[in-house]
């Protein structure tokens, strides 16, 4: 029985304690999944209060199965609107062409929904016990060794754990800290040591609930996505109808050249509330479809928007995602252009893959954390590169120049087979977690192979079988003994049995 007792002890080891830096959508999703997996964690967010950034999120096709697994899908649908198409207009408010979502719905088996970021954020936040999330925690430094990881905050407090997840956005303090160490050791690739580029600036806003008498389109059951392309202005803009009679809107101003935060153009620019107000004045006369007489302008929405924000959509996929006990997630390791609408969903997909591997991590040694982090990056990096490239292409649909003109022509005259192929590509990633009951996929096209699901599900199933054998052996007082050893490697879970 000694071998059985030893194996039972090994299979019931304490899971690692995870520190999550950043309470964005990716960080919250990881926290929810770790809660479900019964892995100890704490979330630390830099700001005292998360403000409404006025953006919307496109989810559904790629996230329905996960939301069903964690039990929030029905509520998510109730706060969202399904979208039928993206409609592109000229400045005369005349429809140029539409891109239907019907093939994507058929391929994935799920509607594509649009939801305000504030509503989605509130939904995710409510799934996490309030005592496990801490606001006003600005990271000053991080340190790690063979024992664990330690985070020092500006309020002179310290957090300690086995794993640190940097889900703290495009300007990640976690990334900056461990990149500095890698740089000192000459282990940081040159590409990761350069500033993230950007070639446009954005103005985003979310209105208060609007009067349907003046904005009748907000009563339609589906989300209207009205994209307007200018013939002679360095701008494009989009307005979307949301649940509760709300509009979300975005204006993109295209710059003459690609810049970065190291450039003089950035240092000389203004980014506060005054700058946002100035840009609002620049664009308020821009036309958008809608209103009683189809004569809306952005100014009609701006006047009903409590707070507009001017933001920089930097674009970069970093090569280095982890080191020792520290790993990055979401915008901290891949900033994707907002035109793709894929930033939030990719952060959530990161959380799924990472949670799958953390759920089977028995030993918090640096060797084992790096092993699962490699599995995580190997799975997610190709998907992120594809999303990044898709974002680059989608910017051309509403962008400037002859290349953008060609892309719009292709989009306007896209053959059915090409549209279907694009829909299949967009919807192929529909991940699930291995430690919750799986959800049947209803899509006409099967989801893409998910290594973290297949590999960790096999480990969970093997461990469950071993626990069953142990319980049976104990209660029957049999003299035979069975011991099992589980080993993770870079390819598949290896299970060796001894009798």
User: Could you tell me which CATH class the domain 2-195+314-451 is placed in?
Assistant: alpha beta
pLDDT band at 233 (very low <50, low <70, confident <90, very high): confident
Phi, psi of 484, deg, nearest 5? -130, 145
pLDDT score of 2: 39
Global pTM value? 0.88
Burial (0-12, 13-18, 19+ Cβ within 10 Å), 310: buried
pLDDT score of 197: 77
pLDDT score of 400: 54
Q: Is it the case that residue 8 has pLDDT exceeding 70?
A: no
pLDDT score of 422: 74
Contact 141, 148 (CB under 8 A): no
pLDDT score of 1: 39
Q: What is the pLDDT of residues 317-360, one digit of tens each?
A: 999 999 999 999 999 999 887 766 788 999 999 999 999 999 99
pLDDT band at 482 (very low <50, low <70, confident <90, very high): very low
As a whole number of angstroms, the distance between CA 45 and CA 27 comes to 9
For residue 161, the Cα-to-chain-centroid distance in whole angstroms is 24
Residues 6+ apart with CB under 8 A from 231: 90, 91
Q: What is the pLDDT of residues 41-88, one digit of tens each?
A: 999 999 998 776 668 888 888 999 999 999 999 999 999 999 999 999
Calculate mean pLDDT across residues 399-410.
56
Calculate mean pLDDT across residues 246-262.
79
Q: Look at 5 and 238; give whichever has higher pLDDT.
A: 238
Q: What is the pLDDT of residues 283-319, one digit of tens each?
A: 999 999 999 999 999 999 999 999 899 888 778 999 9
For residue 52, the Cα-to-chain-centroid distance in whole angstroms is 17
């Amino acid at each position: 029985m000694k071998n059985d007792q030893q194996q039972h002890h090994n299979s019931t080891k304490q899971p690692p304690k995870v520190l999550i830096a950043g309470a964005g959508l990716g960080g919250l999703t990881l926290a929810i999944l770790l809660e479900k997996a019964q892995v100890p964690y704490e979330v630390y967010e830099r700001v005292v209060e998360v403000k409404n950034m006025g953006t919307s999120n496109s989810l559904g096709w790629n996230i329905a199965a996960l939301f069903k697994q964690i039990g929030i899908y029905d509520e998510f649908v109730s706060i969202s609107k399904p979208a039928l198409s993206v409609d592109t207009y000229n400045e005369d408010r005349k429809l140029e062409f539409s891109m239907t979502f019907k093939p994507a719905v058929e391929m994935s088996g799920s509607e594509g929904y649009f939801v305000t970021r504030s509503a989605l954020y509130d939904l995710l936040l409510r799934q996490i016990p309030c005592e496990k999330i801490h606001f006003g925690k600005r990271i000053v430094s991080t340190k790690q060794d063979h024992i664990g990881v330690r985070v020092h905050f500006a309020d002179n407090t310290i957090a300690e754990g086995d794993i640190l997840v940097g889900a703290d956005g495009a300007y990640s303090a976690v990334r900056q800290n461990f990149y500095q160490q890698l740089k000192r050791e000459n282990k940081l690739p040159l590409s990761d040591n350069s500033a993230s580029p950007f070639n446009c600036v954005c103005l985003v806003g979310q209105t208060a609930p609007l009067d349907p008498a003046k904005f009748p389109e907000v009563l339609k059951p589906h989300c209207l996505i009205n994209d307007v392309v200018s013939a002679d202005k360095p701008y494009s803009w989009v307005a979307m109808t949301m649940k509760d009679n709300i509009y979300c809107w975005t204006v993109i101003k295209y710059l003459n050249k690609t810049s970065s935060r190291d450039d003089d153009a950035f240092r000389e620019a203004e980014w506060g509330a005054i700058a946002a107000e100035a840009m609002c004045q620049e664009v308020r006369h821009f036309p958008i479809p809608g209103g009683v007489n189809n004569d809306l302008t952005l100014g009609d929405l701006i006047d009903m928007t409590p707070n507009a924000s001017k933001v920089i959509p930097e674009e970069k996929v970093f090569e280095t995602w982890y080191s020792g006990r520290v790993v990055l997630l979401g915008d901290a390791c891949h900033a994707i252009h907002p035109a793709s609408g894929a930033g939030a969903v990719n952060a959530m997909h990161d959380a799924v893959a990472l949670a799958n591997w953390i759920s089977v991590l028995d030993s918090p040694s640096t060797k084992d954390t790096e092993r699962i982090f490699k599995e995580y990056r190997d799975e997610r990096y190709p998907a992120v590169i594809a999303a990044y490239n898709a974002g680059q292409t989608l910017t051309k649909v509403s962008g400037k120049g002859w290349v953008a003109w060609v892309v719009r022509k292709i989009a306007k005259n896209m053959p059915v087979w090409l549209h279907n192929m694009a829909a299949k590509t967009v919807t192929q990633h529909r991940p699930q977690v291995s430690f919750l009951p799986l959800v049947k996929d209803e899509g006409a096209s099967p989801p893409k192979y998910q290594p973290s699901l297949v590999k960790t599900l096999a480990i969970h199933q093997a461990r469950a079988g071993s626990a069953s054998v142990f319980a049976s052996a104990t209660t029957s007082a049999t003299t035979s003994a069975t011991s099992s050893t589980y080993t993770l490697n870079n390819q598949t879970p290896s299970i060796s049995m001894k009798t």
